[in-house]
């Protein structure tokens, strides 16, 4: 028995090493790789992926899992490992390798075509490619399988938010949308915030230094991580003790770099906070896309854009940027970093309107997959949905259906729901932390973040994948996914900001 | 047949991808990895090494090689691939995996002990560890096997300088030493050079910028490479189109950063110059440690420390460092970067004395392996050899036998000869290039390096491992390894510098 468990752990550890090595190659590709390295790097990453897949789906792994599942004497932690691995193993075996290769080659070509089509505002060229992608996404979902009463998007959602289904997400998102659309409208009717104080030139190095300082204060451990610059900010994990984040700098928009850093800091703190006892296993990972995003948004928005946080940091910021902020009031700055402005672009959206961008994408994905919407009608449906939800209409598809890479470079389905699930959970977790430690809001005004960080570590981070998203939600917040804390947070904050 | 060749290439390409991925992990470890990442990184690298070894030594690879060796219809390039792979395959199978694991674990512990023993000037602690290493190095050599008339160091030398033997290297090194010892003595009796102009504060960024500029001018392609800072400078290859170099900066010694860069630039240009048709195969590599070092030393010393080169660069250097060099004459600078000073430390040695450091280490390795010298006598033999060859004696073992990592972290044997073989070959290749293109010395005074670079690419770099070191030496220079061009270069240069 112990021998079999050891053999399983040894095999799975090698698979994890291959995946983490691939993450290093990917990080290098995004940060420091010279242009010439691209072709060989693609080949090297494909080889590591293939090997990791082969080694993980080896018959022997299946045998060991079956044998170990029947054992009685496993420790609780080992039993969870076996059960999570069994789920991963089953999923990995469901999709034929030949289909995966074909799909991966299609999306690589599709991604390339998209970069050109977007530059040329040419949806027509993308239409047949996207139609093929939709067909293949459906096929992918069929391979993964779903409940006969379920929705074809379910297995695609499950791939990043395990256990979630359309039946569960749709009503939650509909309820949220019902609250958000009128709130956004009410805000839009108020006097608009002047955010010119953050839209001017800020020296590159000083932006980075300030952002790093806040990340460190929040609790991101630079001894077990680092911050680099990339085109798209991200967080990546090579082990519990090497979790790296990236950001970008916009010389003329102070918020871009800082809040990208704080966002990735949240992701990074989650991964750094996983229990050391899980290191080197597939359990040392965030449990779902939604829970992961709850942490990036909690630290970026609920903490990082709070008035309390800037009561502490604003004098420090003024000292670092005396020319830029010396004569700007704290409240002017606070308003500027929380300005609501319904727009066309998801990644530029403020906290209040962001979810409307996500919800409409989620809804369109579901409709495409279920066949109630055709690709050819997508651009126009996109435009009209933006008009009804956000009151804006893109002048072209570039800022419409061509804006996000997701559908062009991966499955249609499962790509977006995590963003909004994360926002909802961020408030749910924060409220639970404050209920347990009422001093947290005051601590934050003093620049003390450890009480909050420790609560999150104890209740969420350390568990890694040993608890599912719904288990960790229930256990940490005492309730299932629930939009009330989030709406109450938004109403309180933006009601005050816009005198509603 | 074509199918078998294709299968072999596919298998070997995956092995190469694993090795290159491991090189990326190693580069990251030396450049950017946070301290926390070390433990997992060690495990990840061990996993990739093990997998690469397993996949390469798979029985099927052996079958394919045997079948393909018997085929008639292979192209010349494919025939070379099969033959080089057969040699690699045979070597990889000779050493039992269990011994390799034991040896690797011993040298890891030995390396750790050495870092502490060096700090404490404690050879006594290292003696038994080094004795075990000597035993294991002998065992390793026995596994690899050697000619009954040969020397036990032969297979260890062969591992980095294929085809070379003690019988071949010893007389060459003895002849070189016989020339060098009196030459160094004669120089030491002359008036010494004042190198204070390069031993003062030089700003970090400007040193790096100047070194990068020269590297680029020489022909190192930054689109297919990059330069980072590490504790020990090195060159590493992830593909023909991603060859990276590193350097270090000493704020108070101008030569340290610049000549480290030019040294690694030579290694890098070699790897970047391998034919694209070999990319992704094990032939896309330098052919031996000696030929590799010939390129680093050619660009660092024969070009980079030449008077001609600085006729071009000195005015540019003065413009970059007006305060530091504005009032310093070209000849003063030229002398400073070529100052001869017999010392205790190999890595700090000048061009003239460097080989004496190497030759004595090579000789001691051979004596240890053959049993004519015991580890316990090593410190004293080291000191007396330094006295006789260089006229200096270390005050302790720290600057004596404890100074180099090689014997403590790898095999005793095969570690050093490449440095001096490289110096000898550097002059041999340079002379051949000039014979073919007499304009080269004049080109260099104009900052034009392309004639030389192209000749080296055509005659050495492009071949990768398709030619052995002795083949490429003979083919490029028209003769076998020969110390005359090198001695003639040294006599000419240092005779003039020291008015001999």
The token pair that represents A64 in the structure block? 């060991």
How far B12 CA lies from chain A's nearest CA (Å)? 11
Helix (H) or strand (E) holding A360: helix A354-370
Beta-carbon separation of A43 and B18 below 8 A: no
Which of A22, A58, A236, A238 has the most B C-beta neighbours within 10 Å, making it the best mutation to test the interface with B?
A238
SS3 state at A372: coil
8 Å CB contact between A300 and A488: no
Length of chain B: 500
Tokens of B208: 């790096």
Predicted pLDDT of residue B2? 85
The SS3 assignment for A7 reads helix
How close B141 comes to chain A (CA, Å)? 30
Kindly state the DSSP code that residue A37 receives in the 8-state scheme: G
Give CA–CA dist B159/B240, Å, rounded: 22
The residue assigned the tokens 């005396």 is A322
DSSP-based three-state secondary structure for A481: coil
Active site residue B264: yes
Chain B: closest CA distance from residue A239 (Å):
6
| Contact flag B24-A24 (C-beta cutoff 8 Å) | yes
CB contact under 8 A, B43 and A17: yes
Which of A27, A37, A225 to substitute to test the interface with B, most B CBs within 10 Å?
Answer: A37
- Which H or E run contains A10? helix A2-31
Closest alpha carbon to A350 in A460, A236, A490: A490
What is the DSSP-derived secondary structure letter of residue A223? G
- The pLDDT tens digits of the residues spanning A234-245 come to 999 999 999 999
From the list B33, B47, B48, which residue is nearest A242 (CB)?
B33
| Residue from B54, B116, B189, B264 carrying the catalytic annotation | B264
A436-494 pLDDT, tens digit each: 999 999 999 999 999 999 999 999 999 999 999 999 999 999 999 999 999 999 999 99
Which DSSP string do the residues of A426-463 spell out, in sequence order? HHHHHHHHHHH-TTHHHHHHTT--HHHHHHHHHHTGGG
β pairing state of B227-229 and A227-229 = unpaired
Q: Supply A499's token pair.
A: 């005198």
User: In this complex, which of A24, A33, A242 lies closest to B242 when CB atoms are compared?
Assistant: A33
Average model confidence (pLDDT) for chain A? 96
Query: pLDDT tens across B302-347, in order?
Result: 999 999 999 999 999 999 999 999 999 999 999 999 999 999 999 9
Low pLDDT (below 50) residues in chain B: none
Q: What would the 3-class secondary structure string for chain B be?
A: CHHHHHHHHHHHHHHHHHHHHHHHHHHHHHHCCCHHHHHHHHHHHHHHHHHHHHHHCCHHHHHHHHHHHCCCCCCHHHHHHHHHHHHHHHHHHHCCHHHHHHHHHHHHHHHHHHHHHHHCCCHHHHHHHHHHHHHHHHHHHHHHCCCCCCCCCHHHHHHHCCCCCHHHHHHHHHHHHHHHHHHHHHHHHCCCCCCHHHCCCCCHHHHHHHHHHHHHHHCCCHHHCCEEECCCCCEEEEECCEEEEEECCCCCCHHHHHHHHHHHHHHHHHHHCCCHHHCCCCCCCCCCHHHHHHHHHHHHHHHCCCHHHHHHHHHHHHHHCHHHHCCCCHHHHHHHCCCCCCCCCHHHCCCCCHHHHHHHHHHHHHHHHHCCCCHHHHHHHHHHHHHHHHCCCCCCHHHCCCCCCHHHHCCCCCCCHHHHHHHHHHHHHHHHHHHHCCCHHHHHHCCCCHHHHHHHHHHCHHHCCCCCHHHHHHHHHCCCCCCHHHHHHHHHHHHHHCCC
Chain B residues close to A48, C-beta within 8 Å: 17-18, 21
Name the residue among B414, B430, B410, B409 with its Cα closest to residue B484.
B430
Query: Could you report the per-residue pLDDT of A66-97, keeping only the tens digit for each?
Result: 999 998 889 999 999 999 999 999 999 999 98
**pLDDT score of A1:** 58
Nearest to A280 among B24, B43, B50 (CB): B43
Report the alpha-carbon distance of residue B81 to residue B92 in Å, rounded. Answer: 16
Asked whether B382 and B364 are in contact (CB, 8 A), the reply is: yes
Catalytic option among A142, A179, A223, A264: A264
Encode chain A (500 residues) as per-residue pLDDT tens digits. Answer: 589 999 999 999 999 999 999 999 999 999 999 999 999 999 999 999 999 999 999 999 999 999 999 988 899 999 999 999 999 999 999 999 899 989 998 998 999 999 999 999 999 999 999 999 999 999 999 999 999 999 999 999 999 999 999 999 999 999 999 999 999 999 999 999 999 999 999 999 999 999 999 999 999 999 999 999 999 999 999 999 999 999 999 999 999 999 999 999 999 999 999 999 999 999 999 999 999 999 999 999 999 999 999 999 999 999 999 999 999 999 999 999 999 999 999 999 999 999 999 999 999 999 999 999 999 999 999 999 999 999 999 999 999 999 999 999 999 999 999 999 999 999 999 999 999 999 999 999 999 999 999 999 999 999 999 999 999 999 999 999 999 999 999 999 999 999 99
Interface predicted TM-score (ipTM) of this complex, two decimals = 0.93
Task: Kindly determine whether residue A239 and residue B18, on different chains, have CB atoms separated by under 8 Å.
Answer: no
Q: What is the DSSP letter of A259?
A: H
Interface with chain A: mutation pick from B12, B13, B24, highest number of A CBs within 10 Å? B24
How do residues B271-302 score in pLDDT, each as one tens digit?
999 999 999 999 999 999 999 999 999 999 99
Whether B241 and A43 lie within 8 Å, measured CB to CB: no
To the nearest whole Å, the CA of B34 is away from the closest chain A CA by 6
């Amino acid at each position: 028995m112990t021998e079999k468990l050891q053999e399983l752990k040894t095999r799975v550890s090698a698979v994890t090493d291959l995946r983490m090595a691939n993450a290093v190659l990917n990080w290098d590709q995004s940060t420091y790789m010279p242009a010439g390295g691209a072709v060989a790097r693609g080949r090297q990453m494909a080889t590591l992926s293939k090997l990791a897949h082969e080694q993980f789906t080896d018959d022997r792994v299946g045998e060991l899992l079956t044998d170990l599942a029947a054992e009685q004497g496993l420790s609780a932690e080992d039993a969870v490992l076996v059960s999570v691995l069994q789920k991963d193993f089953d999923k990995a075996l469901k999709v034929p390798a030949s289909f995966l290769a074909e799909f991966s080659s299609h999306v690589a070509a599709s991604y390339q075509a998209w970069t050109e089509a977007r530059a040329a505002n040419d949806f027509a060229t993308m239409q047949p490619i996207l139609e093929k992608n939709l067909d293949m996404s459906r096929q992918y979902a069929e391979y993964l399988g779903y409940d006969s009463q379920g929705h074809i998007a379910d297995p695609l959602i499950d791939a990043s938010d395990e256990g979630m289904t359309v039946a569960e997400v749709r009503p939650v998102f509909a309820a949220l949308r019902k609250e958000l659309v009128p709130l956004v409208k009410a805000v839009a009717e108020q006097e608009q915030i002047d955010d010119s104080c953050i839209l001017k030139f800020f020296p590159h190095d000083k932006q980075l230094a300030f952002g790093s300082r806040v990340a460190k204060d929040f609790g991101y451990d630079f001894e077990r991580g680092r911050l680099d610059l990339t085109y798209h900010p991200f967080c990546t994990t090579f082990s519990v003790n090497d979790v790296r984040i990236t950001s970008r700098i916009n010389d003329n928009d102070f918020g871009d770099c800082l809040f990208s850093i704080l966002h990735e800091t949240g992701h990074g703190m989650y991964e750094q906070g996983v229990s050391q006892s899980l290191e080197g296993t597939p359990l040392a990972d965030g449990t779902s896309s939604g829970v992961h995003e709850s942490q990036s948004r909690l630290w970026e928005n609920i903490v990082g854009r709070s008035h309390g946080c800037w009561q502490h940091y604003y004098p420090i910021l003024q000292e670092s940027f005396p020319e830029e902020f010396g004569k700007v009031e704290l409240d002017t700055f606070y308003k500027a970093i929380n300005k609501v402005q319904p727009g066309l672009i998801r990644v530029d959206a403020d906290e209040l309107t962001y979810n409307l961008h996500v919800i409409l994408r989620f809804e369109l994905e579901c409709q495409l997959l279920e066949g109630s919407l055709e690709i050819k009608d997508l651009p126009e449906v996109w435009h009209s949905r933006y008009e009804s939800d956000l009151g804006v209409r893109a002048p072209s598809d570039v800022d419409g259906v061509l804006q996000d890479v997701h559908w062009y470079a991966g499955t249609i389905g499962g790509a977006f729901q995590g963003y909004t699930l994360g926002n909802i959970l961020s408030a749910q977790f924060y409220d639970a932390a404050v209920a347990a430690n009422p001093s947290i809001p005051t601590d934050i005004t003093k620049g003390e973040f450890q009480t909050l960080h420790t609560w999150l570590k104890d209740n969420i981070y350390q568990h890694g994948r040993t608890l599912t998203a719904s288990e960790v939600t229930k256990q940490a917040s005492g309730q299932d996914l629930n939009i009330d804390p989030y709406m109450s947070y938004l109403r309180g904050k933006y009601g005050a900001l816009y005198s509603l």
